């Protein structure tokens, strides 16, 4: 199953105040494992960036002035996320801005049915606790030292790790469906969900274990 981790940065908080997107970051996951497929762009919002927003992400009007506009990247963006679940932290914010940009171009809005909000998952798991991205990184001991500013791609990388922890997919999953007779005793087809090393047992270790079991069966534990 393919999913998309998504984050945006904007000129300000609310679309009702005319604020626009200045950055989009996406990371593709396949079975909760990041692939090499990413989508990232800075955008000219065609308006000034608020001072508070600059404090958050650091993108000035000058920096964004020569960047592409949303209309220039919309087809590539929609193609990248097409038919995939989209994972967002505080989805209401990002979705409102993305749908605002789509509406300006007369494009259909993204459906909430395809959105997974990690903020809602965290709220259910940790009621009454802080559930910001930084707080969840601290809870799961995820290094967020690179997050000096809120940037879409770095936030996506952090959210990927947070999401894996939130849904408890932290162990390798084993796929036994396509193991033939010659593979049963030697090679197990392992489909990893996480970066954990799986150790193979040597023939000497197997021999010693069999000898141990043989001696164990000879014992009478009732005497």
Active site residues: 150
Instruction: Please give the structure tokens belonging to residue 104.
Output: 């300006």
Measure the CA–CA gap between 220 and 72, rounded to whole angstroms. 79
| 3, β-bridge pairs | 29, 85
Residue 162, CA distances (Å) to 41, 95, 168, 170 in order: 23, 20, 10, 11
Measure the CA–CA gap between 208 and 59, rounded to whole angstroms. 63
Q: In 3D, which of 5, 2, 14, 22 has the Cα closest to residue 150?
A: 22
Q: In 3D, which of 93, 194, 86 has the Cα closest to residue 140?
A: 194
């Amino acid at each position: 199953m393919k999913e998309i981790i998504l984050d945006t940065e904007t000129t300000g908080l609310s679309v009702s105040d005319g604020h626009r997107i200045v950055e989009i970051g996406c990371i593709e996951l396949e079975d909760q494992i990041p692939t090499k497929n990413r989508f990232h762009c800075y955008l000219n919002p065609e308006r000034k960036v608020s001072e508070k927003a600059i404090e958050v992400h650091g993108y000035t009007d000058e920096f964004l002035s020569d960047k592409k506009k949303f209309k220039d990247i919309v087809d590539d963006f929609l193609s990248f996320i097409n038919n995939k679940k989209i994972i967002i932290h505080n989805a209401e914010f990002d979705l409102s801005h993305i749908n605002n940009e789509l509406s300006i171009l007369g494009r259909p809005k993204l459906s909430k049915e395809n959105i997974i909000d990690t903020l809602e998952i965290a709220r259910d798991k940790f009621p009454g606790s802080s559930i910001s991205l930084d707080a969840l990184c601290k809870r799961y001991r995820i290094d967020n030292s690179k997050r000096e500013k809120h940037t879409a791609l770095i936030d996506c990388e952090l959210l990927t790790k947070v999401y894996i922890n939130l849904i408890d997919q932290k162990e390798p999953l084993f796929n036994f469906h396509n193991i033939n007779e010659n593979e049963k005793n030697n090679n197990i087809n392992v489909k990893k969900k996480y970066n954990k090393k799986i150790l193979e047992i040597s023939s000497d270790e197997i021999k010693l274990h069999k000898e141990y079991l043989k001696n164990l069966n000879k014992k009478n534990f009732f005497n």
